[in-house]
Structure 1
Amino acid sequence: MESMLNKLKSTVTKVTADVTSAVMGNPVTREFEVGRHIASGGPGLCWRIYNGTKKSTKQEVAVFVFDKKMIDKYQKFDKDQIIDSLKRGVQQLTRLRHPRLLTVQHPLEESRDCLAFCTEPVFASLSNVMGQWDNLPSPVPKDIKEYKLYDVETKYGLLQISEGLVFLHSGVKMVHGNLCLENIILNKSGAWKIMGFDYSISSINPSDAEPKYTCKEWEPSLPALCLPNPEYLAPEYILSVSCDSASDMYSLGVVMHAVFNEGKPVCQVNKHDIFKSFSRQLDQVRSRRRVRDHVKMLLSVTPNVRPDADQMTKIPFFDDVGAMTLQYFDSLFQRDNLQKSQFFKGLPKVLPKLPKVNIHISISSYI
């Protein structure tokens, strides 16, 4: 018993020391208590995610922390590039407000040792639940290690991401520029949210009907944290140094492929030999017979062949009674009492088609 207590005390001490070293001196700790390290997310899974609470209200939050020790190996110029990129991503996310984007509760704060900001409560990144465990605590939390994505949950999650892209492309005329598993966050209620706006591009003529975007040439000499994830990047970024909203749709296609293939994208890409990697990737897409038609269209080398985000929300793939029920729950607060009554009367017929985890996640917010 004494040995077990000592082991527990040692574990608690290690976790506390880990949190203290990461956020000591950061202004975010003036208003928020930082708890257990639970997940990782964002570009390259570089953000550690902690449980947290607001001191004044006891409101639950997630605290995202980037420990600057992670980039000690780089020269000053590269360090500055990485920090500037991460700052830009969080600042952009903070300015944007939409139910399909991760909600920032406290803006970015910087100290000598780290960057930190707070969001709505978080479970993990999609990358974590698909088996990518970089920057997670050791041992990996059991709830992440044993997490199972149900088919209806995956469908509704992908629909939520598509709806987020509708807002970005049509609402604010913006290209995300780095849509990938690590930039999709599952919040505490199970909703899928977009983050990671480090490489987002706004239209240079937002008032015009036809937005226009300019992107930078790929620079393989830059650190990986200064570049979008090449495995999810549309070919036009590399082949013609161009992009538009269809480029995000290609990335969505790779995300869809990955979530149904144990987290693996279409092809492994070498950022230093990206032209060769893209040629191989495109050949693999063409040769895969099991890729669904809508994913094949998203992964087309020709941007104007890809369906747009609004069209994606209407494909038969999402015409699923379970996914539609979860979607209705999300919009329940907008319904009048008669609509709510009719919905709940029909709910018993639908419940057997939903896995228990989804019933709990979705209904708990309305009871």
Structure 2
Amino acid sequence: MWSLFTRDPLKEFAYEVEQELPGIENRSDWQFCLGKHKTTGSPVTILKFPIAERNEAQKKRAKNYFKTLKTMKHPNILTYIDGIETEKEMLLVTEYSTPLKVYLQDEIERGPRREMAISWGLHQISKGLSFLNKDCNLVHNNICISSVFVTENGEWKLAGFEYIYSAKENVDYGPRLSSLAAYEPPEGFSGVRPPKAKLAIDSWGLGCLIWECYNTPITRSNQLKDTHEIPKSLLPVYIELLSTNVKIRPTSLKFIELCRKNRCYMDNKFVDCMLFLEEIQIKEELEKNNFFSSLSSVIDSFPKRACTKRILPQLLNAFDFSNIGSAILPPLFKIGGLLETEDYQKYIVPCIVKLFSSTDRATRVKLLQEMETFCQHLSADIVNSKIFPNVVNGFVDTNPVVRENTIKAMIHLSPKLNYKNLNEELMKHFARLQSKDDQGGIRTNTTVCLGKIACHLDPRNRQKILISAYTRALKDPFPPARQAGVLAIAASHHLFTLAESAHRLLPCLSPLTLDLDKNVRDQAFRAMKCFLGKLEKVSEDPDSITEMEKDVNVGGVTRGSSAAASWAGWAVSGMSTLTHKLYKNNKDRTPPKKTTVNKPKSPEASRQPDNTSETRTETTTPENVSDDESECGWDKVENWGNMNDSTEDTENTNSKDGWDDEEWGDMDETANDGNDSFVETEGNHNTVSSYNWGQDVNNDDFFNSLVSKDKPKKTLSKSTPATNTEKTSWESNSWDTENWDPIEEPPADDHKKKMIEKQAERKRQIEQKRAARQASGAMKLGSKKLT
């Protein structure tokens, strides 16, 4: 009857046993099992001792184990969580771990990483043993492979406390298990001897553990003489540990000192890294910064589990609570590559999102440079809502390094951008960079990047965006930018209709066959041959036009994109490499002299009147573009000002680079200037303060025209006006940026002359009145002036 009112303590126990773990068979009185928490489901290791099935000596050892594990707290000793003792059994709950035997057989990596992991594991066991021997004056008396466990983060923990006793006492726990007889030292396990001699038993056990780490569990004591698998750097210390003279055997602390000497067993980068992480809380900021900066170069040789479970948490902690900045990024991304997708989303992605909001330029540049390594792990929602809004700030940064790397990062981000961010927001920034940026290399890279992401643009706007941008690049004073425009056209030829190719692209390419730069001329001929070949094929077989234009209205990555890129020599590892190759041959040449009136001009300049004034005039097109065509920003004619209001003309700017000028007279001089800025973008950058960012802010501001209330000025086109009756298909397209119809408005120079003439006339009138007064003589008081 009373059994109805009694409670079973095991039912109220918070943990439950699942299955028995292999690796400890017949080497311990305890059964090692896998368990979990009943509520949270977190895994644990449960040691189970069936009381009814054991004798008194075993029960005594079990209670010794239970008491020692519960009271010992040390980083290198298996962590106790909970425990219970009933009439039937004792249960000991510890942190989740794996027997060392199973770890060495199934989980540890092979090669140099294995030796690194073992060296650090022996270092940890030796520290735990030193704590017992030196600080607690205890003899473990059971150091072997079955007394060591490995946690989830790769840490080796000491257990197996059945036979532990105080060095000051002589305790007999009865006969040992027969499987442990091979570990008995020459002097035996028991007997009356000095405390130091008792501690030497653990040194012998440490030597046995070393042999088992590189071989198999010991079954006979004479196996210890086979040293073929022991590393040569460890062999001298190993021999001392197994000496028959107890006075020669080094203690566990001495063992660490001997192995940490120069070129010894534990003198490696992995042990150095682990020791630094153990003391990172007391390190100075400079030491932390140097450590994380050098970590990236050696982390590839470290064991994977240590990287993901031990080093990564320290990197995340340093990111949250220190000012290390960009130094943690390289190792962070390298370790992130070892994680599963779920873990990457949990640990790395939040850091990336937070880092992109940083105002530190070094951090932002490093993130942009590493975009390729982590972009694949970012979801489209994260990219559009949290990453892209912070990345686009780099387009307007005053530092050219930030702008350049922001452009490069778009190659990896563009496939995940939504319609608005890709076809509207990004294109506005590209339009501004391509037309306004004073760095030739950045303008070149903008065209290169646009050619690479062209296949991702929306087909409804793609042709007008690309044609406007590419033809503008063909007029750039910087030769590599013009060459990039030609290559981009060639790489994107499958995205244009044959009508667009014949009416708009070929007429733009033909002037470049007379370009001053031979590389530009060569690429122009190749591109024209490509388009002419397609047109000739369709002329012979009109039915093939469908096959030719199959990719024009297809969104996303098309089959022809990679082939075209290969044909044009487009797909290179990086855009800086491309622009460097485009201009590296010109860097060693003598800078070209300024073009004089007597020297022949470029094709564009030869068709335009000379202008000796330093002030260049810009051109605008008289036709207004509809609202639906102006959302992306590329459809604005030569002026890139107002993206949203097609009815307002933007204010002209007198740019030093002459990007919007139709007069390309001093081509050599302009190209030389662009080369200097390009080299600077490629290599050594000046400080931010060295750039004259403060001048002409209103003129260079891309969005200035959005809020400007002044009536914009218009300038005359310097091209030959076309009659209304002779309009061709090239001129009739409202998207056409090459429509050079005249604008019947006085140019800025004429307006200035009229103002000067008006002031001179006013001054002349004042002088005449003054002379008239002087001629009439002095006026008398009270007299009346007759009129």
TM-score normalised according to structure 1 size:
0.70
What is the alpha-carbon distance in structure 2 between the residues aligned to residue 25 and residue 297 of structure 1?
53
Which residue of structure 2 aligns with residue 353 of structure 1? Answer: 301
Q: Which residue of 2 aligns with 1:309?
A: 252
Correspondence for 1:65: 48
C-alpha contact (below 8 Å) 2:208/2:224 kept by paired residues: no
The answer (yes or no) to whether the contact 1:128–1:182 under 8 Å persists in 2 is no
Q: Give the CA deviation at 1:187.
A: 1.1
* Equivalent pair of 2:69/2:159 in contact (CA under 8 Å): yes
Instruction: Call closer, same or farther: CA 1:32–1:129 in 2, change over 3 Å.
Output: same
3-state SS, counterpart of residue 37 of structure 2: strand
Residue deviations 1:323-347, cap 9 Å, x none? Answer: 2212323333443444332221111
1:109 aligns with 2:60: no
**Identity level (%):** 21
Q: Is the 8 A contact 1:37 1:50 kept in 2?
A: yes
Does 2:119 correspond to 1:155?
yes
Cα distance in 1 between the residues matched to 2:26 and 2:58: 11
2:166 — aligned with what? 202
Residue in structure 2 matched with residue 254 of structure 1 by the alignment: 208
For 1:306, give the aligned amino acid: R
Match of 2:138 in 1: 174
| Corresponding residue to 1:319 among 247, 267, 271 | 267
Larger Rg: 2
The partner residue of 1:235 within 178, 186, 203 is 186
Alpha-carbon distance change, 287 to 48 in structure 1, aligned in 2, over 3 angstroms: closer
Q: Is the Cα–Cα contact under 8 Å of residues 41 and 49 in structure 1 kept in the other structure?
A: no
Structure 1 pair 38/214, CA: closer, same or farther in 2 (3 Å)?
closer
* Contact 1:62–1:119 (8 Å) recurs in 2: yes
1:286 CA displacement: 5.6
CA deviation map 1:161-218 (0-9, x unaligned): 11111111111111100011111010121100111111112132xxxxxxxx5354x9
For residues 26 and 129 of structure 1, what CA distance do their matches in structure 2 show? 34
Tell me, in whole angstroms, the C-alpha distance in 2 between the residues paired with 1:188 and 1:112: 33
Could you tell me which of 74, 79, 98 is aligned with 1:98? 74
Which residue in the other structure is 2:102 paired with?
Answer: 128
Indicate whether 1:264 and 2:217 are aligned: yes
AA aligned to 2:45 is: A
The answer to whether residue 147 in structure 2 is matched with residue 214 in structure 1 is: no
Counterpart mapping for 1:321-340 below 5 A: 321-340=269-288
Partner of 2:14: 31
Cα distance between partner residues in 2 of 1:239 and 1:193: 26
Which protein is richer in strand relative to its size? 1
CA RMSD of aligned residues (A): 3.1
Q: Secondary structure at the match of 2:32?
A: strand
CA contact (8 A) 1:25 1:111 kept: no
Query: SS state of the match for residue 105, structure 1?
Result: strand
The separation in 2 between residues aligned to 1:184 and 1:160, in whole angstroms, is 10
The Cα of 1:228 is off from its aligned counterpart by 8.5
Secondary structure in structure 2 of the residue aligned to 1:304: coil
**Number of paired residues?**
293
- The partner residue of 2:59 within 70, 74, 83 is 83
SS of match in other structure, 1:317: coil
Contact 1:26 1:114 in 2 (8 A): no
1:38 offset after TM fit, Å? 4.8
- Measured in 1, the distance between the counterparts of 2:19 and 2:285 equals 40
Segments of structure 2 that go 5 or more residues without pairing to the other structure are 1-6, 317-787
Higher helix share: 2
Partner residue, 1:6: none
Change (3 A) 1:184 1:287: closer
Partner letter of residue 121 of structure 1? Answer: Y
Do the aligned residues in 2 keep the contact of 1:54 with 1:61 (CA within 8 Å)? Answer: no
| 8 Å contact kept, 1:65–1:115 | yes
1:39 Cα deviation (Å)? 5.1
Is the 2:21–2:33 Cα contact (8 Å) retained in structure 1?
yes
Change (3 A) 1:28 1:297: farther
State the Cα deviation string for residues 111-135 of structure 1 (Å, max 9, x = none): 233221111222x11123345xxxx
CA–CA separation in structure 2 for the residues paired with 1:298 and 1:214: 23
Structure 1 CA distance for aligned equivalents of residues 59 and 201 of structure 2: 25
TM-score, length-scaled by structure 2? 0.34
Q: Secondary structure at the match of 1:65?
A: strand
Distance across 1 between alignment mates of 2:185 and 2:149: 21
Q: Indicate if the aligned counterparts of 1:42 and 1:195 stay in contact, CA closer than 8 A.
A: no
1:299 aligns with 2:242: yes
Structure 1 gap ranges (5+): 1-23, 72-77, 132-144, 205-212, 270-280
Deviations 1:285-319 (A, max 9, x none): 56757651111110001111011111111222111
Q: 1:92 to 1:99 in 2, by over 3 A?
A: same
> d(CA) in 2 for partners of 1:182 and 1:239?
21
Is the Cα contact below 8 Å between 2:15 and 2:35 reproduced in 1?
A: no
Q: Distance in 1 between matches of 2:16 and 2:267?
A: 42
